Amino acid sequence: MILGPRELDWQRQVLDTARRAGWTTYVQDLRNERSHEPSVVLVRATRVVLVFLRTNVRRAHETLPGRFAELHGVECYLWAPRDWPRIRILLTTAPSTAEVIPSDQERL
């Protein structure tokens, strides 16, 4: 699926905010993007977040794909632009103590 300008702007807004807040970001290759796969994967310390981005108004019955919705230790979200105030808080809130890796256990 090829993303249009609206979708690309929305994705860019999320990615820019996440990166400024210290998240490592992974995105699908735009040539191979599929709606049933996460649009964005965010990693910061021990926290992993799978994000499904939507630009249209989210329908009340729309849910996350089953294989991701029940992953333990991984947060999954379905985000639309109208969710931006909550998204910004989630992305920019300082890591919790549990999220910070002690220096003797730093990842490579």
- pLDDT tens, residue by residue, 61-83: 566 666 676 778 889 888 999 99
66: which strand partners?
none
| 13, part of any domain | yes
| 14, part of any domain | yes
* Domain span holding position 67: 5-94
Q: Two tokens at 64?
A: 């996350």
From CA 97, how far away is CA 79, in angstroms rounded? Answer: 26
Closest C-alpha to 38, from 25, 28, 30: 28
| 107, part of any domain | no
> What domain count does the chain have?
1
| DSSP label of 103 | G
Q: What is the pLDDT of residues 1-20, one digit of tens each?
A: 567 788 889 999 999 999 99
Asked whether the predicted pLDDT for residue 46 surpasses 60, the reply is yes
CB 46 within 8 A of CB 28: no
From CA 32, how far away is CA 27, in angstroms rounded? Answer: 11
